[in-house]
Structure 1
Amino acid sequence: MTTPLTLTEEYIFAHDLRSSSAKIYRASTKALLKHFRASPIEEIDHRAVLGWRKKVLENGLSKRSWNTYSNHLRTVWGYAIEHGLVTHTTINPFRKTSVIPPKRASKTINGDSIQRGRNWLISLVGQERCTQERSKITPAWFWLAVFEMFYYTGIRLNALLCLRYKDIDWDSQMILVRGETEKTHREFFLPIMEGLAPHLCRILGEAEKIGFSPDDQLFNVNRFSRHFHGKEMNIDQVEAMYRKLTDKVGVRMTPHRFRHTLATDLMKQPERNIHLTKSLLNHSNIATTLSYIEVDYDHMRAVLHERSLAQGALSRVRRVDTSGTPQLPLTKARLPAPDIEKLEPKKLSAPKQSSHSVERDSRPIRSTGPSALQKALEYASAQLRPESIPDNATDQISDHLDQSLLLTLMAGGLGAGTFRKHASSDRSMGIAQFPQASP
């Protein structure tokens, strides 16, 4: 009789999976059996799967956990349909059953926290060397080397635990990561950087003293300390160290967060070489690399700022005054209604004239105030200070001041011919002119 469990075991048998991957497939199948119990496999159709999804999500299962079940079971059913293990249908019941999970919190660690963690481990190294006593994380020099391995290379935790003594090629300064230890099943190399070299050199030297064989696990704290008695170092020991580090620094630290941080930091570089990042993290799909990269909002802000500069959008921003209070751009849309009206050119009504005034205006008029023109120009200059007027209001104010200047000149006793002389000069300079009122 065909059951979900037999389908899962057939899939695991046919594929070269790591033990941790096989464990996830079996866990997903057990969750399915918990809901459907002994139901015939024919009854597990698309609608039944959606009913299961609804129930477990209502009971508090996270959307990410549901997607893990859905994706793995979809793979198992796809294999079963393709190879004729399921004959009652050709439709995969788990197709399109995933849900959109909420955005995860940032998995990166800021540089200050990383440096504080490093400094603490360095202080423990000095403490153990001086006192010859066991520190909180011991041996501190070993765990500092583990810390730097994750920081410099972004290596996966399982890959680090599977490194052998012979996988370190000191002559070529390279680290071999074997395919059977990787999720992608692909072999690749990691370069030994200058900052990492002293720590690896220390481990290799200590391993040589103890008499490591080529196939021995290199990062094995049990071999370097009399306080541990296990045969091989496991995930629990690494995670225990990082929990102590998290408690000390106050920021959550894990090997995988170092991996996310490395990917994000590399993409902040001017070159932003995503293929280099993909190769370093040994991803088979570039989309996976992109999912590791956190948004750099500082870089985003700088790019948007450069765009606004290039397009001239910042030309209307006022300077900061001496008091340090930033001034808002003085655009027409921001002005209150009364102020906007002040910027609009006012229509001058034609002056009332009598028969005597016509005859009087036809004669040259001398200025009764010799400084009237100077005062008018000073007034116009004060009103047209560039730091107090936005670009879109300049033309309106220029028209308004032409009117004010005309009235001032007339009040000062200057003739219309004098004003026209200045007006023609202004027109040649590209200054907008106000139409003269008819006498």
Structure 2
Amino acid sequence: MNILEITNSYIRERALSDAAAIHYGYVAELFVRDAGVQDVREITREALLNWREETLSRDVSSSTWNNYFRHLRVLLRFAADHEPVPALSGNLSALLLREHVERPKTISRSDLKKAMSYISSRRSAIRPRWFWAILLRTLYYTGMRRRQLIDLMWSDIDLKKAKIQLRATSSKNRHGWEIPIVALLLPSLFQLRERTLKELGEDADIGSLYVFDISLFTEQYRSCRNGKMNARSISNFFSRLRFATGVSISAHRLRHTMATELAQLGLYKELQSLLGHTDMKMTMRYVHPELENLRLMAEHLESIDD
């Protein structure tokens, strides 16, 4: 059996999300292309080393390699339930690389204001302006991931109680949780709901509809499948925004920015719950004490000179 067949079987058996299925397929295709091996019975440690060398020759980061390798290792272990896999005879963890820990990329307050100002201005080429402004605010004020925003339905939002239920099916770690709707975001979601009902009729049952259905408000997106926005549409929005303002923004950076700002409050357990992390170590990546606070702490040291 070849690794591509194994991948398809694994995706079907585990009922992976669309995003996870795409990534597993991508990794398997990368391996076949770079290592030149398809039959799992021919995947040896040497083949994995060759793949690593080929991958790193493209200036891929150690964390990206580790991500690729961990996904392939899952597939190999799945394959081992059906036939022998030579590569599994040794310690595969030794093929992982030490990762360089860097601060998550964030967006400055001035750049965020610059981006929002452009979206709302009449000179903006982004349409409809109000829709994309609400989308950006939602990503920032909730910290939700792009996939979670795309899958968000009106039945997941309780505007009266100001809370959102994030679905397990769209979560990276496959569990759902509740997050609050902050006062700065609530009016925007009310506006989006009113605009949606205006398009569909005041008595329309919108509970089963996607919240960010751009196809309701512009002809350009009428082809959206079942009213569901695709990830590329959001990426294109951020690309146009970057071209117009010079500000690099993405859903991922907005999440990092929100988390980094809130981490300064010191409420790490609460931040972990808000972000949906199962491991506190993931949350602590956003903890970056200010230099002046470090200076004040260090000033408490007593002199060692006479």
Secondary structure, aligned partner of 1:189: strand
How many pairs align? 299
- Identify which of 215, 234, 240 aligns with 1:244: 240
> Is 1:74–1:92's contact at 8 Å kept on the other side of the alignment?
no
Unaligned runs of 5+ in 2: none
Amino acid aligned to 1:204: R
Residues 1-39 of structure 1: CA distance to partner in whole angstroms, max 9, x if unpaired?
x22223323322231311111111112111222244356
Aligned runs of 1:14-413 on 2, under 5 Å? 14-38=13-37, 40-81=39-80, 83-86=81-84, 91=89, 94-102=92-100, 104=102, 106-124=104-122, 135-211=124-200, 212=204, 213-231=206-224, 232=227, 233-269=229-265, 272-291=266-285, 293=286, 295-296=288-289, 299-308=290-299, 310-313=300-303, 392=306
Q: How has the CA–CA distance of structure 1 residues 10 and 123 changed in structure 2, closer, same or farther, with 3 Å as cutoff? A: same
Give the TM-score normalised by structure 1. Answer: 0.62
Residues 157-191 of structure 1: CA distance to partner in whole angstroms, max 9, x if unpaired?
11111111222212211112111111122121221
Give the TM-score normalised by structure 2. Answer: 0.87
> Is 2:159–2:186's contact at 8 Å kept on the other side of the alignment?
no
- Offset of 1:288 from its aligned partner? 2.1
State the structure with more CA Rg. Answer: 1
Q: How has the CA–CA distance of structure 1 residues 195 and 76 changed in structure 2, closer, same or farther, with 3 Å as cutoff? A: same
Q: Distance in 2 between matches of 1:87 and 1:197?
A: 54
Q: Distance in 1 between matches of 2:246 and 2:99?
A: 27
> Is 2:139–2:251's contact at 8 Å kept on the other side of the alignment?
yes
Q: How has the CA–CA distance of structure 1 residues 105 and 243 changed in structure 2, closer, same or farther, with 3 Å as cutoff? A: farther
Unaligned runs of 5+ in 1: 128-134, 317-390, 393-439
Q: Distance in 1 between matches of 2:240 and 2:116?
A: 13
> What percent of counterpart residues are identical?
24
- Offset of 1:294 from its aligned partner? 5.8
Q: Distance in 2 between matches of 1:190 and 1:180?
A: 16
Q: Distance in 1 between matches of 2:287 and 2:114?
A: 22
Which 4+ residue blocks in structure 1 deviate beyond 6 angstroms? none
Q: Distance in 1 between matches of 2:188 and 2:99?
A: 40
Greater RCO (Cα-Cα under 8 Å, separation 6 or more):
2
**Aligned-residue CA RMSD (Å):** 2.6
